[in-house]
Structure 1
Amino acid sequence: MITVQGLTKMYGGFKAVDDVSFECRPGAVTGFLGPNGAGKSTTMRIIAGLTPPTAGEARIGGILYQDIPNPGTQVGVLLDASAQHGGRTGREILTMSAIMMGLPMSRVDEMLNLVSLTAGESKRRVRNYSLGMRQRLGIANALLGDPKILILDEPANGLDPAGIHWMRSLLREYANRGGTVLLSSHLLHEIEVIADEIIVIGNGRIVAEGTKAELLQTAGTFVKAGDMSALANALTSAGITASPSGDAGLRTEADPETVGKAVATAGVALVELRPAEGAGLEEMFLELTGDTQREQRPTEGVQA
């Protein structure tokens, strides 16, 4: 289990992580989401003992990372696939890790086979690897000591669709065997597919957390009409508050029957009327982190 309690990290006057607390339980994949600069990587570096916190603590299996004896056999970490020594071969990197952890050399071949790096590829210098190959090597290194916990920062970067499917299956099987996985990714669809629990961070603070079912379940109604202006007026006249939603429609907390009656009374022809449940991870993510996004819609003073 990973337990983060009151974690804060200051860089001068900038608070990169602000009183963050959460848990990652065994047997589950926890998706860690947030915009660029939200504090994901800093939090993961603190958990892995690479960055000291300003306040709070992060424990793995009840103890600090730096206090874990032979940590590679307890927790596997992949924070930057490009940080591997470019002058060494993939096999050399895994061999050195195996020696440091006191593992049999047979584990090297087992891991190369697991991540589908061929004998020829394992003998190439890492500087000549594609990003996808470096990711596979990094995952092999993280799994080398057969740890019970995995901490992976953007492990799908550089992987093709087949590679992403492979990684998804690998992590799902790992969690099903009782492993704990903390996984950050900007590929929202992949998190939606694989994660059991989701943590969303924005501006260094947790803005939402819970099981996937809890976070993606939304009450109310999604409604869309050919004349969206008339639809908005009809809802307002009926005292129903609505806000823009995905697919150029509106979402309201009112139930579908109430919305349908109000719109019918106003004579507005609908294109779509349905419960808003299962709106999707992307929509939820954008709603929760909208004020932290770099890419904002143009406002006053911007001309086409």
Structure 2
Amino acid sequence: MSTSTGAARSSRPRTSRAHAPRRSDAWQRRLPLLPALIFTIIATQIPFLITIWYSLRSWNLLNPASDVFVGLSNYIEIFADRTFRQVAMNSVIYTLGCVLIAMVLGILFALLLDRKFLGRGVVRTLLITPFLIMPVAAATLWSTSMFNPTYGLVNWVLGIFGIPAVDWTSSHPVISILIALVWQWTPFMMLLILAGLQSQPKDVLEAAQMDGASALQTFFFITLPHLRRYIELSVLLGAIYVVNTFDQIYLMTAGGPGTSSANLPYYIYQRAFLGFDIGQAAAMGVVVVIATIIIANFALRLIFKGFMSTEQN
């Protein structure tokens, strides 16, 4: 017994000594990242904490005496606000509509560019161009050159078929903004899907062709499962960017008529810089950030599960 006890005691210091270099090595690897971590905390978390503090106060810039602590009253009021629910639904429509339509078009264009044909480089450049244009310039282009009721290109094309002119941004504001968003984000989806297509092993496609599989069968049973990770990543990144859309709404419809085409970022802008209600605007911002984080974490878990299952297979 004494011999075994002595051996156990003698092994403990060796274990702690073995772990000590490992911990020091881990800290040496993490130390160069510490300045970036500190900068990220200062640049993101401190402003967010200040926003939470503002959201707990009733503060209108037109009435300096209104700066009082109200607790969760701002959150209760915004969830009871019918306009807030409307613009939240508009944000969902813009995000889901743009991402899904742009994804389908991106897959079609990527399949086109994955084949060799004369002028493929020119076609690829033209298809990528909308994504390279600044959002402000793209919104101005669609509101003045495309959807203008007097000299817009869309009404001119419709006039050829005898269809009367339509004031798109006034009569159909949500559809107009959605078309502009799809036009700008389709190239982004196309590039990611094209990267997935070009990473697909060619011998697998040749084997499917030798086995007599048709083009549709090859796409649905071989190509589409291979593109799953790229599609999930495209949807996640696209949704994160599209949900923050502001330029198109501000320049094309100004959120109107009324607030029928506004989304959450634009409505927060209206409450903060037009209504001067800092408390409710901050509460809306906190709600949007928390909802975005929850959705992004859920999507990231799905993507990581897909990566892990692919690696195990």
Q: TM-score, normalised by structure 1?
A: 0.23
Higher helix proportion: 2
CA radius of gyration, larger in: 2
Greater relative contact order, per chain length (Cα 8 Å cut-off, separation 6+): 2
Q: TM-score, normalised by structure 2?
A: 0.23
Higher strand proportion: 1
